[in-house]
A and B are shown apart, each in its own frame.
Chain A
Amino acid sequence: MSTMSEALQTFLAESRGLLEAMEEGLLKLEEIPDDSEAINSVFRAAHTIKGSAGLFGFDEIVAFTHEAESVLDKVRDGELALSEAMIGLFLSCRDHLSHLLDLLASDSDADDETRQRGDALVAQLSACLGGAGSRSMPVEQEAVFHREGGDGAQGDAWHVSVRFGRDVMKNGLDPASFIRYLGTLGQLSHVETVFDAMPPAHEMDPEECYLGFEIRFHGEVDKTEIESVFEFVREDCELRILPPGSKLSEYLQLIHELPEEDLLLGDLLVRSGAITRRELEEGLAVQGQESTSDEAAPPLGEILVERQAVQTELVDAALAKQKDVRQRQSQEARFIRVHADKLDSMINLVGELVIASAGVGLIAGRNKDAAMMEAVSEMARLVEDIRDGAMRLRMVEIGETFNRFRRVVRDVSKELGKDIELIISGADTELDKSVVERIGDPLTHLVRNAMDHGIESAETRIARGKPARGSLRLNAYHESGSVVIEVGDDGGGLSRERIVAKAQEKGLIEDAQGLSDAEVWNLIFEPGFSTSDAVSNLSGRGVGMDVVKRNIEALRGTVEIESRAGSGSTFRIRLPLTLAIIDGFLMAVGEGHYVVPLDMVLECVELGEGRSSDEPDYINLRGEVLPLLRLREHFGLEGPVVRRHNVVVVQWGGRKAGLVVDELEGELQAVIKPLGRIFAGLRGLSGSTILGSGEVALVLDVAQLLEHARLREAEAVSAVSVGRTSERTANAMTG
């Protein structure tokens, strides 16, 4: 049944969220050991996971979490001080739980190794408790019951009365598991099953639940804990809990409130040992008298409140708690879970809408119908808003990904024996969900490398006059239509000599003459560069850097390195903001249409008349040399040659170039469709889009084109004499 697996999915998703909260709390505790907020959040996470796992009958998780919770409870009560070793232990417990959840998700059983690890952790946990055993062990209990009068009902047991709602089982929950779970908190001394609500056979729906239970329960718990057992069915069951030592009158009230007949219930209670037969008879008789002697007899509840003033306070407290819970729930309700596929299909549709509305706009323009054009422009504005809204739905903050590295940094720095601090900034920078998911691995690689090879050991750092504690920076920000993620360290920086030596040894370069620093740094991304001995001799941060670069390029991103000897290096990853719809700038060359992302377009200038294709490819743009890339020649296009060309100045990653095109056609919204597999080898194109007219335009990959232009520029600079260059640029200016 799908509901069951949905419930399980929810459980898994929630538990994973809780584990993240747990980790966050623990790492916070490492900095501020007595942060009570953090202790509470760790405890709550463990407690809730245990509770929900209990409902699903995942005994292994319950048993394990219980041990951890017991220790946490002591910490929360201030009985145990939280040492660094304990935080480490809890982090291991968290990992173990996460592993158990993974096993659950893949529907496989724990192997021996997992079990052994679990046992070892449990042993360590109980060592923390000083071997005192865990919380639910039946502990000698002080007599807490204060009985009024000598009526001999069993005063030391909780009485839990629960009637399950009809739909509980349909919702994928089994009432039995709640009772089993209650049993794990203490001891079920007596259970009575109430099934009077069950209709005759032909009306009975076997998938509905008609059962109720009267439970006597021994355990050192408080009312909230019992309530939390039934948390999952809170809305869907009637729950009444009488604390140990409840008065007879309260039991009478319970009898009165329950849907079943009074006498029958009374019998049940007698059987379960809550009250004695004599008490029941007397109690019901008294109640009967009261109601017959006075027509307008006050409700039982009122009588009770009158007799025991304490009750009102209890009621108030309960009400306040309920309100609190409700508020929290309404806050939670501000978020909804949506399947990613639904979102994708919506964005697809929005894409089609964008294309369709462009088509409408085109026809309206052709017909020169003013009213129509007005309506179309209004619609276009709305479509644009919808598009932005839809894209924003996919945007997530990068903070969550960054926070994962707190743990990585902690573990790796322990492993390496270095003291390293992680500084996160720009955590609220948003980027596309699919990008966030795929950037994790390359980032982990960079972070690990920075810690391993970038940041020096404490002794070296002190010797170099730096603070002993190294720092690693993760930063993110938006820049002209792209997102920039930086991984920086304050270590020794990359060593030019060593990288050059390594590259020569590997045959990647002949010699380093004429190579800029940036070019040398880029060598570490070469596939041949990374070898295992590169790790040990600090010649570079070789391990798998080519994989990092490939991963980033697969996201249409680029990576660059900034490094200063002695003061550290920064890896800067630049990623496109979104992968699906862009604001584009449309241009024409020959008979074809081309689009570049509008964010990358700086300006458009006219190119001098009559410049033939064999002339050098650069112009003087307000004193700056701007390399030109003639799209006509680059793509080998034919078709009528126009007299005047235009230059579209584009920028990407701090580099500029001019694209020479025939015509400028203005802005458009482009829905990027990937090119087929056969075009995979094509350099300079990143996709296609459909214009309103139905024609296809190709989306240019500016990063690749700029790389091409840069190479041409380098060639040109070495080939052409300086005098000739200035003459030609002067020409370009006047023309």
Chain B
Amino acid sequence: MELKNESGRLCPEGELTIYSAAECKDALLAALEESDGLEIDLGSVTEIDTAGVQLLILLKSEAKRAGKTLTLSRHSAAVIDLTELFNLAGWFGDPLVIPAER
């Protein structure tokens, strides 16, 4: 997975899965620590598994605990699919844009 870091905006690319979970965790947590408000653009996540979702949960909880805002945006189809399966969209609280054709 590649991380494109613009200020306050992270754009993970490719897989967000168990294979990349360890490096992602460090990168994402570090980014969250540095900023007050972070946006994670999920538009380029082609594949996500339970480990990936779990990581997003961790980030969200961590942000809440530290009083920071963490926004997830531009969810890709794969992310929406799993978020819905786990019924976590409400908990994450970020607007989901569901593509017209699925």
Determine which of A1, A175, A192, A201 lies in contact with B19 in the assembled complex, contact meaning CB atoms within 8 Å.
A1
Q: Is the CB of A211 within 8 A of B58?
A: no
Q: A153-198: which have CB < 8 Å to B?
A: 169-170, 174-176, 179-180, 183, 188, 190-193, 195, 198
A residues less than 8 Å from B22 (CB atoms): 206-207
Q: Is the CB of B51 within 8 A of A180?
A: no
Q: Is the CB of B62 within 8 A of A201?
A: yes
Q: Is B98 at the interface (CB under 8 A from chain A)? A: no
Determine which of B50, B55, B62 lies in contact with A176 in the assembled complex, contact meaning CB atoms within 8 Å.
B50
Q: Is the CB of A175 within 8 A of B50?
A: yes
Determine which of B18, B50, B55, B87 lies in contact with A1 in the assembled complex, contact meaning CB atoms within 8 Å.
B18
Q: Is B82 at the interface (CB under 8 A from chain A)? A: yes
Q: B25-81: which have CB < 8 Å to A?
A: 25, 29, 49-51, 53-55, 57-58, 61-62
How many residues of B are counted as interface, with CB atoms below 8 angstroms from the partner's CB atoms?
Answer: 23
Q: How far is the CA of A327 from the CA of B25 in the complex (A)?
A: 42
A residues less than 8 Å from B24 (CB atoms): 206
B residues less than 8 Å from A192 (CB atoms): 87
Contacts A198-B61, A204-B25; A209 near B54 (Cβ below 8 A): yes
Determine which of B21, B29, B58, B87 lies in contact with A193 in the assembled complex, contact meaning CB atoms within 8 Å.
B87
B residues less than 8 Å from A183 (CB atoms): 85
B residues less than 8 Å from A188 (CB atoms): 85
B residues less than 8 Å from A176 (CB atoms): 49-50, 53, 82, 85-86
Q: Is A64 at the interface (CB under 8 A from chain B)? A: no
Q: Is the CB of B82 within 8 A of A210?
A: no
Q: Is the CB of B54 within 8 A of A198?
A: yes
Q: How far is the CA of A528 from the CA of B58 in the complex (A)?
A: 74
A residues less than 8 Å from B62 (CB atoms): 201
Q: How far is the CA of A195 from the CA of B86 in the complex (A)?
A: 11
- Closest Cβ of chain A: how far from B99's Cβ, in Å? 20
- Closest Cβ of chain A: how far from B86's Cβ, in Å? 4
Q: How far is the CA of A209 from the CA of B61 in the complex (A)?
A: 16
Q: Is the CB of A180 within 8 A of B85?
A: yes
Q: How far is the CA of A521 from the CA of B88 in the complex (A)?
A: 76
Q: Is the CB of A195 within 8 A of B49?
A: no
Q: Is the CB of A195 within 8 A of B82?
A: no
Shortest Cβ distance from A214 into B: residue: B87
A residues less than 8 Å from B51 (CB atoms): 169, 174, 206-207, 209
How many residues of A are counted as interface, with CB atoms below 8 angstroms from the partner's CB atoms?
Answer: 24
Q: Of A170, A174, A180, which is in contact with the most chain B CB atoms at under 10 Å from its CB? A: A174
B residues less than 8 Å from A179 (CB atoms): 85-86
- Closest Cβ of chain B: how far from A681's Cβ, in Å? 53
Q: A301-316: which have CB < 8 Å to B?
A: none
Q: How far is the CA of A296 from the CA of B37 in the complex (A)?
A: 53
Q: How far is the CA of A195 from the CA of B61 in the complex (A)?
A: 10
Q: Is the CB of A190 within 8 A of B86?
A: no
Q: How far is the CA of A190 from the CA of B86 in the complex (A)?
A: 9
Q: How far is the CA of A175 from the CA of B82 in the complex (A)?
A: 11
B residues less than 8 Å from A207 (CB atoms): 18, 21-22, 51
B residues less than 8 Å from A211 (CB atoms): 50, 54
- In the complex, per-residue mask of A195-224: 1 if CB is within 8 Å of any chain B CB, else 0: 100100100101101110100000000000
Q: Of A179, A204, A209, A213, which is in contact with the most chain B CB atoms at under 10 Å from its CB? A: A204
A residues less than 8 Å from B88 (CB atoms): 193
- Closest Cβ of chain A: how far from B47's Cβ, in Å? 11
Determine which of B29, B49, B55, B57 lies in contact with A174 in the assembled complex, contact meaning CB atoms within 8 Å.
B49
Q: Of A170, A195, A206, A209, which is in contact with the most chain B CB atoms at under 10 Å from its CB? A: A206
Shortest Cβ distance from A205 into B: residue: B22
Shortest Cβ distance from A190 into B: residue: B87
Q: Is the CB of B61 within 8 A of A193?
A: no
- Closest Cβ of chain B: how far from A6's Cβ, in Å? 14
Q: How far is the CA of A180 from the CA of B25 in the complex (A)?
A: 25
Q: Is the CB of B57 within 8 A of A206?
A: no
Q: Is the CB of A206 within 8 A of B87?
A: no
Shortest Cβ distance from A199 into B: residue: B58
Shortest Cβ distance from A176 into B: residue: B50
- Closest Cβ of chain A: how far from B6's Cβ, in Å? 23
Determine which of B21, B29, B58 lies in contact with A198 in the assembled complex, contact meaning CB atoms within 8 Å.
B58
- Closest Cβ of chain A: how far from B28's Cβ, in Å? 10
A residues less than 8 Å from B55 (CB atoms): 206
Q: A603-628: which have CB < 8 Å to B?
A: none
B residues less than 8 Å from A206 (CB atoms): 18, 21-22, 24-25, 51, 54-55, 58
Shortest Cβ distance from B49 into A: residue: A174
B residues less than 8 Å from A190 (CB atoms): 87
B residues less than 8 Å from A193 (CB atoms): 57, 86-88, 91
Q: How far is the CA of A176 from the CA of B87 in the complex (A)?
A: 12
Shortest Cβ distance from B26 into A: residue: A206
Contacts A1-B19, A176-B85; A204 near B58 (Cβ below 8 A): yes
Shortest Cβ distance from A179 into B: residue: B85
Q: Is the CB of A201 within 8 A of B86?
A: no
- Closest Cβ of chain A: how far from B51's Cβ, in Å? 5
- Closest Cβ of chain B: how far from A417's Cβ, in Å? 52
Q: Is the CB of B18 within 8 A of A191?
A: no
A residues less than 8 Å from B58 (CB atoms): 198, 201, 204, 206
Q: How far is the CA of A180 from the CA of B86 in the complex (A)?
A: 10
Q: How far is the CA of A211 from the CA of B51 in the complex (A)?
A: 10
Q: How far is the CA of A207 from the CA of B22 in the complex (A)?
A: 7
A residues less than 8 Å from B61 (CB atoms): 195, 198
Shortest Cβ distance from B20 into A: residue: A206
Q: Is the CB of B85 within 8 A of A191?
A: yes
Contacts A176-B49, A192-B87; A210 near B19 (Cβ below 8 A): no
Shortest Cβ distance from A173 into B: residue: B50
- Closest Cβ of chain A: how far from B19's Cβ, in Å? 6
Shortest Cβ distance from B61 into A: residue: A198
- Closest Cβ of chain B: how far from A694's Cβ, in Å? 52
Shortest Cβ distance from B57 into A: residue: A195
Q: Is the CB of A195 within 8 A of B85?
A: no
9 cross-chain CB contacts under 8 A: A174-B51, A176-B53, A179-B85, A191-B86, A193-B86, A193-B91, A195-B57, A206-B55, A209-B54
Since A190-B87, A213-B86 are in contact, a sample of 9 more A-B pairs with Cβ atoms closer than 8 Å, ordered by chain A residue number, is A1-B18, A1-B19, A176-B85, A193-B57, A193-B87, A195-B61, A206-B24, A206-B25, A207-B21
Q: Hey, which bits of chain A sit against chain B, CB under 8 A? A: 1, 169-170, 174-176, 179-180, 183, 188, 190-193, 195, 198, 201, 204, 206-207, 209-211, 213
3 closest cross-chain pairs (CB), A and B: A206-B21, A206-B25, A191-B87
